[in-house]
A = this chain, B = another copy of it.
Amino acid sequence: MKAYEDLLNRLREIDLIGQIGSLLSWDQEVLMPKKAAPLRAEQLAWISKTSHERLTNPGVGELLEEIESVGDVGEVQSANIRLVREAYDRATKLPTDFVEEMAIHRSRSIVSWTEAREKDDFSIFRDDLAISIEQARAKADFFGYENLRYDALLDLYETGLTVERLDPLFSGLRENVSPLIKAVVGRGLRPDLSWVIDNNWSQKSQEELSQSVAEAIGFDFSAGRRDLSTHPFCGGPNPDDVRWTTRYNEDEPFGSLFGSMHETGHGTYEQGRPRHLDFQPAGKANGLGIHESQSRLWENQVGRSKEFCEWSLSLWKKFFPENMEGVDSDQLWRAVNLVEPGLIRVDADEATYNLHIMIRYEIEKRLISGDLQVDELPDAWDEMYEDFLGIRSTNSSLGVLQDIHWSMGAIGYFPTYTLGNLYAAQLLEAARSDLPDHDEQIRKGEFSHLLNWMRENVHSRGSLLEPADLIEEATGSPPSPDAFVSYLSSKVESLYGVSA
């Protein structure tokens, strides 16, 4: 079909432009000299403008209409058309004035959030946040929705996601995980961490450990790189050039190792994309939730397992012979699985993390619906922390002002973090039933079985299906909190001897 061929050629160019932009961004974060920032911004603006022009060219709309009128076209073509339609609509439904207005407000809002946070004064950010919420509502109206305005915002970050789908996931978590945490806290048990705290952990050895683990997992370093950056991320232009970063703190070695495993998870996903669909939307990695499932799988489900600690102990001892003297795999396992409610999301452990997200989700839902007013937000925040985590922030910087997301207008983003955790647990449960020797394989450092399972059931499926459908295809069940709750319960029981 000529129209489809034409469209694919246009997509090829749009994708190439995106690849170039990815490299510029990576370079900007990792090694660009300081003074180069203003001209790099101009280069990136040109890339973004050029790509936007290509995508919103009326020819794309005409080709789409022509192709959409055809009946059954097979899995690949129908996924490509669905995804281009989605991108085209998102790029064309918002009036140019409104897009500019949002951009200007975003710059201003980041500034007021930064100041509010530094001065620990929510009132400085209050007005800008109120405008952001108004803008998010307007945006939802431009995009359209069936039931709730907030659904249109959720859909931006995870296609097909709605409150109707999310509510049962979060209530499942709330009902099960919150009591679990309270039980752990009640027991008052805390592993001895003196061997971690009392030692210095050299950056060079941390780098060697990260590199060895990433190689063992199966990240292909001839098609990617590991570098250092202030904010760890995984980027790069295409599956042959996947670049992830980490950072090091010589006071403790876990941040860099689990950060590296997290980014390695993202990286193996990118490297496993279906190459016959290069340059096509259907060949891209699926939404944020699925991407996060791959990073959380290796970081938590694998990386913090007893079996992984048993396997990795010899690496720990190789790279930190003195620090690790007398430390056994059980101590290592307990140290990397400390459960402790805290105020800060990004520092949270596996058990408490999703409660941080749930609080943000409930708040966003109410802010968008109008059930919660901006002035009521700080108190609502603190009360929910008290309710679900049993702690209360003493100031706004540690409370409602801690995340950058709202200042950037990213309302509807947070839930994808929890989706990642739930998907990871669900995928591992499914993989286990195909891999009866999974625990033994991890204990021996044979990660290829699990990676190949993910390659086959997740990576190679690109964006052919919507995220929830991909999870159902891979695991046999729609997204659900059950696997995660059961994983967490059994872990907490074996760590602390408590159950909810």
Interface residues of A (CB under 8 A from B): 13, 16-17, 19-20, 23-24, 27, 31-36, 38-40, 42-43, 46-47, 220-225, 237-238, 240-241
Contacts and interface: CB of A to CB of B under 8 A. Distances in A.
Given A24-B23, A241-B40, A35 B225 contact: no
A395 to B, nearest CB: 36
B20 A20 contact: yes
B17 A46 contact: yes
Contacts of A36: 223, 237-238, 240-241
Given A35-B222, A36-B238, A238-B36, A42 B16 contact: yes
A47 B20 contact: yes
A62 B47 CA distance: 27
A13 B53 CA distance: 15
B38 A237 contact: no
A39 B225 contact: no
A38 B278 CA distance: 12
B225 A33 contact: yes
Name, among A223, A238, A241, the residue most crowded by chain B CB atoms within 10 Å (CB to CB). Answer: A241
Nearest to A221: B33
18 contacts: A16-B46, A20-B43, A20-B46, A23-B24, A23-B43, A27-B27, A33-B221, A33-B222, A33-B224, A33-B240, A34-B222, A35-B223, A35-B240, A35-B241, A36-B223, A36-B238, A36-B240, A39-B241
Given A16-B46, A32-B241, 13 more contacts: A16-B42, A16-B43, A23-B43, A33-B225, A34-B222, A35-B222, A35-B223, A35-B240, A36-B223, A36-B237, A36-B238, A40-B241, A43-B237
A13 B16 CA distance: 18
A118 to B, nearest CB: 26
List 3 tightest A-B contacts by C-beta distance, closest first.
Answer: A36-B241, A35-B223, A35-B240
A225 to B, nearest CB: 6
Contacts of A38: 240
A32 B27 CA distance: 11
A401 to B, nearest CB: 32
A46 B43 CA distance: 15
A46 B223 CA distance: 21
A20 B240 CA distance: 20
Contacts of A220: 35
Contacts of A224: 33
Contacts of A223: 33-36
Contacts of A42: 16
Contacts of A241: 32-33, 35-36, 39-40
B16 A23 contact: no
B43 A19 contact: yes
Nearest to A45: B16
A284 B37 CA distance: 20
A18 to B, nearest CB: 10
Given A13-B46, A33-B223, A237 B39 contact: yes
A411 to B, nearest CB: 33
A221 B46 CA distance: 26
A306 B360 CA distance: 69
A24 B24 CA distance: 8
A19 B20 CA distance: 12
Nearest to A278: B39
B39 A19 contact: yes
